[in-house]
Amino acid sequence: MKLKTLFLLCLLAILPYSCRKEIKSEKGGIDLISNVYFDASKGLEQMQSFHLSKLNYLGNQIIEFVPDHSFPEINMQTYFIQDSLYYPVKDGNGSVILSEVAKTQKPQLVWNKKEGAIFSKEQILNYRNRRKLSDTVLFNKKYKRFEINSPWNYTRFYIYPTDTILPYSIYRHAEKDYGGRLERIDSYNKKTDIFVSLQLLPRKNWDDAAKEIFDFNHFVNSRKSE
């Protein structure tokens, strides 16, 4: 009888995790923003903001615009990303045909991409030594948190609990462990006295330039199927 009771308790404990179903977001966008604070111990006045990447996705297709750091309104580079491959798009105007890009451009692994959104298979450094922090609320959203402290760096991670997953994540392994989406990383370098905040900002709508490309490709594909 005791064994049956113990079995039932174990079953109830793991049931929420085994029944949890992830939902893939089919359409939307992601902005990656980084704020860098110099001489952070003296205050947060010396700050520079960088718009690292503008990701727009439809299913498993991603159009990424990499803004110019000096002029964020100008896109320095455009990439077409599908599955684990990416293709540089030479002409990022609205008439680009994504299937032709995949045919004519040499595919490269996203793990090797150095600009814009960085895709990584690596685990967070010293992840095993993380320490759980109390939940907090930022911008009206409740986050789970954990920290990693080392002699050279102090970092806090903010995970938004959700079943909806995006086609891009900073560290997918942490999202799986915490059942949510890693949306913010605050890191302080103790040697250089530089504080860096990296934010992943999901949005429902595409950029205007991405909308032109997706709409044009939908038109081209619909004509082919007629």
> Can you give the CATH number for the domain in which 172 is found?
2.50.20
- Please report the pLDDT score of residue 73 as a whole number: 84
143 located within any domain: yes
189 located within any domain: yes
147 located within any domain: yes
215 located within any domain: yes
Tally of structural domains, the chain: 1
Range of the domain at 39: 23-220
> Over pLDDT 90: what percentage of the chain?
77
The confidence band for 92, taking pLDDT boundaries of 50, 70 and 90, is low
Rounded to an integer, the average pLDDT of 32-56 is 95
- Please report the pLDDT score of residue 226 as a whole number: 61
187 located within any domain: yes
- What distance in Å separates the CA atoms of residue 175 and residue 169, rounded to the nearest whole number? 8
Tell me the pTM: 0.86
- Please report the pLDDT score of residue 6 as a whole number: 39
- Please report the pLDDT score of residue 93 as a whole number: 75
What average pLDDT does the chain have? 89
